[in-house]
Amino acid sequence: MEDIAIIVGSPISDIGKGWITVCIAKASSDSIVLKIDPAYNVVEFTSTPENLELVSSDFKTYSELGLAVSPEQRILLGNTLLDFFQSIKKIDEKTNAGEIKIYTMSDASTFLANKIDSLLIKNNKQKCVIEIGGNINDPELACVSQAIHKLAQKAKLHVFLLTYFDYSEDSSHALKKHHVIQGIQKTREIFGSVERVYIRARQLPIEITPQMVSKAKREISERSLISEDKLIFAPNFSSVKDLQIYLLNENALALDKGSK
């Protein structure tokens, strides 16, 4: 494995991470795209029409840019934990009577990291682009973040955050930046760094001017100690293809080079 790129969202789940993920994956040659869903639900992925529709709906955005997807590329945390518990039960059955092995979240995260690694090997890929479902404040993501750190021991980790501007309804008509600043802080706290921040405008009742964006980015840069060129304003588009074109023109999709 050469690179592992993750896309996280803050402060809510339904923010459009899939669009950013598919654009980054499409720009990253020799990569496999995965989605980790932090839900504890357990779903049997069979070839029944219901399950095929579930996978098709979940990966609809990915397929719009021609990325190959299959059910195994949607990693449901509930399924993974169930597999983990079943695997340690088999190990326990083989141990001598009276010996007790204490398992922790670290063991579960290792199991998840190995599962991701095996998918890359199976598909003969050197890069992995992962959309992490939910939002970065979800406590369920603790196991996922530990797994990412373990994978980062043998690959270069790229962390991308998707967040959004809010709107000040007072006479200043300024873009509120607290979601962006808090998201950067939380992402660094969990993963150690942020390579790029994509910022959306969620249904704001005003026209956002380049001057407003420039001022907001400058203030975020000063308060969060992040370079302005790492802050990418991503306007609302009607299709993922339009977003892809825009981000390519902004040179905002390539993975940073350098040692891991």
Read off the CATH number of the domain in which 18 is found: 3.40.50.300
How many percent of the chain have pLDDT more than 70?
83
Mean pLDDT, residues 34-60: 65
In one-letter notation, the amino acid at residue 83 is D
- Looking at residue 48, the DSSP 8-state letter turns out to be S
Write the pLDDT tens digit of every residue in 196-254.
999 988 767 677 888 989 999 999 999 999 999 999 998 888 888 899 999 999 999 98
> Could you tell me if residue 255 is inside a domain?
no
- Cα distance between residue 161 and residue 134, in whole Å: 12
Q: What confidence score (pLDDT) does residue 260 get?
A: 46
State how many domains the chain has: 1
For residue 169, count other CB atoms closer than 10 A to its CB. 10
> Could you tell me if residue 68 is inside a domain?
yes
- Cα distance between residue 136 and residue 7, in whole Å: 10
> Could you tell me if residue 260 is inside a domain?
no
Which residues, 6 or more positions from 213, have their beta carbon under 8 angstroms from its beta carbon? 175, 233
End-to-end CA distance of the chain: 11
Cβ atoms 11, 137 nearer than 8 A: yes
Give residue 54's domain range: 3-91+101-249
Structure tokens at 197: 């921040």
Cβ atoms 10, 137 nearer than 8 A: yes
Q: What confidence score (pLDDT) does residue 54 get?
A: 53
> Could you tell me if residue 146 is inside a domain?
yes
DSSP string spanning 167-193?
E--STT-PEE-HHHHHHHHHHHHHHS-
Q: Is the pLDDT of residue 132 over 70?
A: yes
> Could you tell me if residue 220 is inside a domain?
yes
Q: What are phi and psi of 15, to 5 degrees?
A: -125, -10
Which residues, 6 or more positions from 120, have their beta carbon under 8 angstroms from its beta carbon? 1, 32, 126, 128
